[in-house]
Structure 1
């Protein structure tokens, strides 16, 4: 056998092993997603998403929860719509007796958000049906996390070889936070995966513009935008890169321009479909915005914001509710919500919040891999760097940098670390780029792969408490509450675990549960709690304290005490 034949056979054997490893990564990731989806009780935001999704299917309601497009909640509640016979819809009994005009006003005031309370009421009445259909919906939404894994492997393999693709896919698939939030009916992991897919297809069009790729790229961009408004970040950068491609194609410039226009049309059409094209083409000067509506007035009395502007007669290319939802989201950012980070409570946020969240939440192995890759790229000569200086890497680098900038700018929220998730797949893609310019025997490659291995170990070690994971330098999951709260510690995922623990410890009575994210909107009866267990009542002999509440006003008397027991990684038990 010749030397060339032996090399060819060796490469084939290596590719087979890498494919088997990818299959193993996907199987473990899917298993973890299913376990997380099954064991987690409804988390805080899922009540609103689930209720709004049912409203969408039952009544074609595109207004409820309009701070996010309707796609993900529609996917997550499709099993409930199809399988839950005579699915009930709560009509907000606290508003019974309110006139229709006043109810319309209340529904459209920017501060009137009722979907969460209505979702809690639906769960209180039908807890078993709610959880069963929630689980089925979670499985559908969880497929986005797997698509992110496959896309990273395929795109990384094209740019950096199959080892690079496997590295990027592994770092994504074994992130504890991606497992935890990817198995919930929320928007953050789906938009991260969809933005990655849109960038991959767009980069493919940039390399070789074709009509099929322009249609696929346009659809993927519209689909990503329907996952969450965060994907709007892609639009201006895609425009800049498209102009670059047009300028570079001297002989087929007109064809490339037409392909670009087709992609834009497909994207806008995709966005309009779930909204049933309502308001598309309406003059911009006739659009009313929620933040302009005085409290106590009707929707019809709200003055259009742009009726006196020069562009007032221009037709709107997207549905009206899409624009109104963005306006309401912007209102929330400008108003701000109470935040907590690094042991400090604040009425608003900090520009460094998401950087700090990544510092304490990403596994130590992930940081090792990213650092080794960054140092490797920095230390190489310009000649070697030219190997990876292609349009794919440039696009990903720009998007990743823009994500960090926009999250620093939008600092009104400092309690939802999950908003940084769309940065992750791009960061892991760039991490894999080092494997293109060094061989397997270099220290850079060894450190990068070691980091990936440690990430896998950390994810497996966190089972099944992925949502409350913190890395070891930050104190681990037990002390993570000292750094972040809300969706980083206890988001309501362990209600059933707390109930099971109390059933197994009948000596812990009477006991009061303090858990605003998990139990506060429910009753002991709706949660199926044992006797002599109360929720947010007077202090009892025992107190089950959520780590989210431990850093707030309710936990001030407990925060410096040593707990008697710990439930999972989200609750402490104190004897009073």
Structure 2
């Protein structure tokens, strides 16, 4: 079983060279075939973006998008980052760029840290073009997802040939979790792009430590900090990449003075980009002038007592947002797994997410990649026990083991950190780990590639089928669950929140009500948009303690699956105001069978009058 890809070519391994002529058709065909990976990845990116656009145009603004996008517009218009500093601004700025250029409106002087007011004011000012602005922002985000695939393709090809790079890119592009989060105006896809881009550039820098790659690492590391607070872990992962790549590698040693200069350049460029993203607002504020909310930052401030004069080399809104998010994560959050709610989270939450949310094709390739990496460790150990190990085989195995360590340790740390937090509200929280696992799978893919052409076609068909199978529920990628977990209908037995119901199907509900000619519905919607703003005439359903015998009054009901499962949250009253929803307030709907489930996230029920003859609805 080989870990290399012979000849680095898929289609022309047995082709007979044509006689060289200036405009030979055969020569042109050979060149095209020799670049097959360009075509495959390019077509896959086009398909990925096309599917994403089609889904994005149908989805209503989801829970977090409601304030993410107007926060980006506020940053463009007023250079303000405090209207919502719970996330850094870079991806928001990118997504809001079409709005800033296209004339979207947003009132000035909005209060800081008030997501409801921010979202409501943006909706009120842009009612006619509201969905169009979100579509434009989502398309911009899909472009970032395409760049992530390009990065994986280049990195995999550089490490182990074209098939490795192509498979890694396709795993990203055809993953329903990646596609759904890329088709939303949220920071996850952009943060993942810069997470992967930083590690890739660091790998190149470790193998060729020159000033050009040092500049690339510094700029990307700084930009990555402007996407999501998770990317602060890159300050640990970049040294790890250097250590794994250089340790006993046989690469040319780097002089200490040169390495110190290159490292200083990386750090300074990263800090410069980090602060420039916030226009240097509040950079250098002394530590003693901060009043932190979170216990973790309060503890650090206490440990540094006596050093209150130290200037903090970070923007004020970044540190304030980081502190705010830490305080949020230190609080209690309802987490749902396999029919159970708790307030502390589950240690294996993200492993269960992978079991339920990844398509079986993706699961196969990730497990196969891990198995081949462990096999390489076993073979390497046996080979080193010999007195004279084979040098080519030894080099190949050592390279594969080294590459696996480089990828798996950051992925494991990221999953471990997320698992230690009680705020486990979606598989998307570990999205930056996906490309690392997909790249590991891609590295092992050439092992399956046969030398005989008659079995190459079945292998290609297997790869295509295993990857595309997860897209068959289009456009309901956000609520996707694999067959083992029960699909769109059965996923609610396992996971909730952004894994399933993020408020994406409000437009779908409006169309369904129009089709069925339902003038009034009792609606409990898990989302931030006031349903009346999209033309839905509704009342709130009665709470569980108001329902006699567990049966509400006759009529039509639309209940978000999160509320059916019993999640506490907030809800919009018909007048647009907000009230809290208690635990299991609408959980009594679990005893009823919906007429239809829209997109996997919204149940539509009909409760008949007991005095009337039963009817059947489809």
Which of 303, 311, 327 matches 1:315?
311
User: If you compute each CA radius of gyration, which structure gives the higher value, 1 or 2?
Assistant: 2
Deviates more, 1:303-312 or 1:412-421: 303-312
Show the counterpart of 2:62: 43
CA distance, structure 1, for counterparts of residue 246 and residue 157 of structure 2:
27
**Structure-to-structure mapping, 1:525-540, within 5 angstroms:** 526-529=533-536, 533-536=538-541, 540=554
Alignment of 1:265 with 2:268, yes or no, is yes
> Does the CA contact (< 8 Å) of 2:202 and 2:242 recur in 1?
no
**Structure-to-structure mapping, 1:113-512, within 5 angstroms:** 113-124=113-124, 126-242=126-242, 250=253, 252-291=255-294, 305-306=301-302, 309-380=305-376, 381-382=379-380, 384=393, 386-387=395-396, 389-390=398-399, 392-410=403-421, 412-437=422-447, 439-440=449-450, 452-506=463-517, 508=518, 510-512=520-522
CA distance, structure 1, for counterparts of residue 347 and residue 457 of structure 2:
34
Distance change in 2, residues 1:168/1:447 (3 Å): farther
CA distance, structure 1, for counterparts of residue 323 and residue 606 of structure 2:
47
Deviates more, 1:179-188 or 1:431-440: 431-440
User: Which 5+ residue runs of structure 2 have no aligned equivalent?
Assistant: 1-12, 19-26, 384-392, 544-552, 567-583, 608-618
CA distance, structure 1, for counterparts of residue 143 and residue 254 of structure 2:
41
> Does the CA contact (< 8 Å) of 2:106 and 2:121 recur in 1?
no
Distance change in 2, residues 1:204/1:560 (3 Å): same
CA distance, structure 1, for counterparts of residue 189 and residue 456 of structure 2:
28
Which of 66, 71, 89 matches 1:70?
89
Which of 544, 550, 569 matches 2:558?
544
Deviations 1:365-400 (A, max 9, x none): 111112223223333422557525445543222211
**CA drift at 1:283:** 2.8
> Does the CA contact (< 8 Å) of 1:171 and 1:455 recur in 2?
no
Deviates more, 1:187-196 or 1:56-65: 56-65
**CA drift at 1:332:** 1.1
Show the counterpart of 1:96: none
Q: Secondary structure at the match of 1:345?
A: strand
Deviations 1:115-167 (A, max 9, x none): 13430343255333222222212221221110111111111011111011111
Q: Secondary structure at the match of 2:237?
A: helix
**CA drift at 1:187:** 1.1
Distance change in 2, residues 1:402/1:200 (3 Å): same
Deviations 1:257-304 (A, max 9, x none): 211110111111111112111232333333332348xxxxxxxxx999
CA distance, structure 2, for counterparts of residue 230 and residue 277 of structure 1:
21
CA distance, structure 2, for counterparts of residue 242 and residue 457 of structure 1:
36
CA distance, structure 1, for counterparts of residue 117 and residue 500 of structure 2:
22
**CA drift at 1:37:** 2.1
**CA drift at 1:437:** 4.8
**CA drift at 1:312:** 3.2
**CA drift at 1:331:** 0.9
Deviates more, 1:326-335 or 1:279-288: 279-288
CA distance, structure 2, for counterparts of residue 323 and residue 173 of structure 1:
34
Alignment of 1:18 with 2:27, yes or no, is no
**CA drift at 1:430:** 0.6
Show the counterpart of 1:98: none
> Does the CA contact (< 8 Å) of 1:286 and 1:307 recur in 2?
no
Computed over aligned residues only, the root mean square deviation of the Cα atoms, in angstroms, reads: 3.1
CA distance, structure 2, for counterparts of residue 388 and residue 401 of structure 1:
22
Distance change in 2, residues 1:431/1:243 (3 Å): closer
Distance change in 2, residues 1:38/1:352 (3 Å): same
Alignment of 1:563 with 2:594, yes or no, is yes
TM-score normalized by structure 2? 0.80
Deviations 1:189-227 (A, max 9, x none): 211121111111110000001101100111111111211
CA distance, structure 1, for counterparts of residue 423 and residue 180 of structure 2:
21
CA distance, structure 2, for counterparts of residue 371 and residue 449 of structure 1:
19
User: Which 5+ residue runs of structure 1 have no aligned equivalent?
Assistant: 93-106, 108-112, 293-301
Distance change in 2, residues 1:414/1:440 (3 Å): same
TM-score normalized by structure 1? 0.86
Show the counterpart of 1:104: none
**CA drift at 1:330:** 1.0
Deviations 1:84-129 (A, max 9, x none): 255335846xxxxxxxxxxxxxx5xxxxx42134303432553332
CA distance, structure 2, for counterparts of residue 426 and residue 264 of structure 1:
24
Distance change in 2, residues 1:6/1:500 (3 Å): same
Q: Secondary structure at the match of 1:574?
A: strand
Deviations 1:502-558 (A, max 9, x none): 11111x45421221226xx5142x1212x5x43556855111122121101244222
Distance change in 2, residues 1:337/1:450 (3 Å): farther
Distance change in 2, residues 1:283/1:419 (3 Å): same
CA distance, structure 1, for counterparts of residue 106 and residue 560 of structure 2:
32
Q: Secondary structure at the match of 1:227?
A: coil
CA distance, structure 1, for counterparts of residue 105 and residue 333 of structure 2:
37
